[in-house]
């Protein structure tokens, strides 16, 4: 252990302070809104504790909710580290999810071949969807934010067309495909962990997300690519002087980011719905931005923040059912939470200059 490690830890804690303040502010705001509505806020706080921590089943559900957010949060974070803003995760996860569905529908192989095949397909298509804005930025200097937004809409449109025409489940009115082969389904963890009830939805995609967390941690910390990525993120000019081509880094980071976002589609298609359901994502790509922000773009921070948001979405559902509080309150609160966070961040940045 080096001498300055307590100092480093203190610095790390300091950098997470805005996240902690934002989340406390969020819960206080929820309570105030309830008082205005004439409801008892203590009932709400009590329900939060009950809904989140009363059984192993609850914890499983929270981790299940957080799985797609881990992927999208990591996708945003890795881009951000390189100074790129990927708000196209929503489109990338749909394209990736569709690629996985397509393989799962048409090919029947043993699971240990078919599942990796589906995952690779999803990562490739998500990667392509991320690479296009990356190439446009590296080659033509076109801003990736606008292009990722545009790519989102193009993805929605193509998915909506495919799922209501060629790939629609025969004889059905719902905009969804037929079910994928059994061999393509990700096993549930309830079979592996005996204390988890059979009905729990937590599945292997959560383990995949943990592997990606570790992979990115090592990539960023211990490899030359991670070093180049961070250098380009800090200053593309300095990186160029150091013999690094920022354009190349931009392209591979956007590709990797899109590929990871594609895995969020896998989590839903192979892990939950077992088919492609039109607009299956309740905005995971956009929540991923909040997750990355809250987790300070650090892989472990993102993991923690995603679990927090998974917890919030479970609470939102329980609160809606038991206390008749509309879901919109949580969405609005989430918006304010992000706002508070960026304001604190901007303010601290200016004060430190």
Partner 1 sequence: MILQLIPSTLRMTTPLGYAALGGIYSERSGIINIALEGMMLIGAYGYVIGAQISGSEWIGLMFGVSFGIILALIHAVATITFHAEHIVTGLAINIFAIGVTEYLIPTPDRVPGLPEVKLPLLGIYSILVILVPFIMILSHLFLYKTRWGLRLRAAGESTEALKTLSLSRAKWQYFAVIMSGVLASLGGCFLSSNVHIFTKGITAGRGYVALAAVIFGNWRPLNGVAACLLFGFAATLGLENRWGIPDQLLKTFPHILTMIVLAGLVGSSKPPNSLGKNNS
- Contact residues toward partner 1 (CB under 8 A) are 85, 87, 136, 139-143, 145-147, 149-151, 153-154, 157-158, 160-161, 164-165, 283, 286, 289-290, 293, 326-336, 338-339, 342-347, 349-350, 353
In whole angstroms, how close is the CB of 79 to partner 1 at the nearest point?
Answer: 12
Residue closer to partner 1 (CB basis): 76 or 249: 76
In whole angstroms, how close is the CB of 347 to partner 1 at the nearest point?
Answer: 5
Residue closer to partner 1 (CB basis): 32 or 343: 343
Judge whether 347 and 101 are in contact, CB under 8 Å: no
- Return d(Cα 145, Cα 173) in angstroms, integer: 35
Residue closer to partner 1 (CB basis): 202 or 292: 292
Instruction: Indicate the angle between helix axes 224-234 and 205-222, nearest 10 degrees.
Output: 80
Residue closer to partner 1 (CB basis): 157 or 192: 157
Nearest to 81 by CA among 327, 298, 342: 298
Alpha-carbon torsion, ordered 228, 233, 235, 237, to 10 deg: 60
Judge whether 21 and 340 are in contact, CB under 8 Å: yes
In whole angstroms, how close is the CB of 64 to partner 1 at the nearest point?
Answer: 22
The position carrying tokens 């990871």 is: 260
In whole angstroms, how close is the CB of 152 to partner 1 at the nearest point?
Answer: 8
The position carrying tokens 């061999």 is: 183
In whole angstroms, how close is the CB of 344 to partner 1 at the nearest point?
Answer: 8
Judge whether 94 and 156 are in contact, CB under 8 Å: yes
Report which DSSP code applies to 185: S
Residue closer to partner 1 (CB basis): 94 or 274: 94
Q: Could you write out the DSSP letters of every residue in 305-340?
A: HHHHHHHHHHHHHHHHHHH---THHHHHHHHHHHHH
Residue closer to partner 1 (CB basis): 145 or 323: 145
In whole angstroms, how close is the CB of 132 to partner 1 at the nearest point?
Answer: 8
């Amino acid at each position: 252990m080096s001498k300055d490690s307590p100092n480093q830890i203190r610095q790390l804690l300091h950098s997470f302070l805005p996240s902690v303040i934002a989340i406390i502010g969020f819960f206080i705001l929820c309570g105030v809104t309830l008082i205005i509505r004439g409801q008892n806020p203590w009932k709400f706080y009590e329900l939060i504790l009950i809904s989140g921590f009363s059984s192993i089943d609850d914890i499983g559900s929270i981790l299940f909710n957080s799985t797609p957010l881990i992927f999208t949060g990591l996708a945003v974070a890795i881009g951000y580290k390189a100074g790129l803003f990927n708000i196209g995760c929503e489109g990338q996860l749909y394209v990736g999810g569709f690629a996985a569905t397509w393989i799962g529908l048409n090919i029947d192989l043993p699971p240990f071949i078919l599942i990796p095949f589906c995952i690779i397909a999803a990562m490739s298509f998500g990667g392509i969807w991320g690479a296009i804005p990356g190439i446009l930025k590296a080659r033509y200097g076109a801003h990736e934010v606008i292009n990722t937004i545009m790519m989102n809409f193009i993805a929605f449109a193509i998915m909506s067309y495919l799922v209501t025409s060629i790939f629609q489940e025969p004889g059905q009115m719902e905009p969804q495909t037929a079910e994928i082969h059994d061999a393509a389904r990700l096993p549930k963890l309830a079979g592996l962990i005996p204390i988890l009830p059979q009905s729990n939805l937590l599945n292997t995609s959560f383990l995949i997300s943990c592997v990606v967390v570790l992979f990115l941690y090592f990539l960023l910390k211990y490899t030359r690519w991670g070093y180049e990525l961070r250098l380009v993120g800090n200053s593309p000019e300095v990186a160029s002087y150091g013999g690094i081509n920022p354009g190349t880094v931009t392209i591979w980071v956007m590709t990797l980011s899109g590929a990871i976002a594609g895995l969020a589609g896998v989590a839903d298609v192979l892990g939950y719905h077992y088919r492609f359901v039109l607009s299956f994502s309740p905005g995971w790509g956009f929540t991923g931005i909040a997750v990355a922000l809250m987790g300070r773009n650090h892989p472990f921070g993102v993991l923690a923040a995603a679990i927090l948001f998974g917890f919030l979405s479970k609470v939102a559902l329980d609160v809606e059912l038991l206390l008749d509080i509309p879901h919109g309150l949580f969405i609005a609160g989430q918006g304010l939470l992000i706002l508070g966070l960026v304001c604190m961040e901007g303010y601290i940045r200016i004060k430190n200059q």
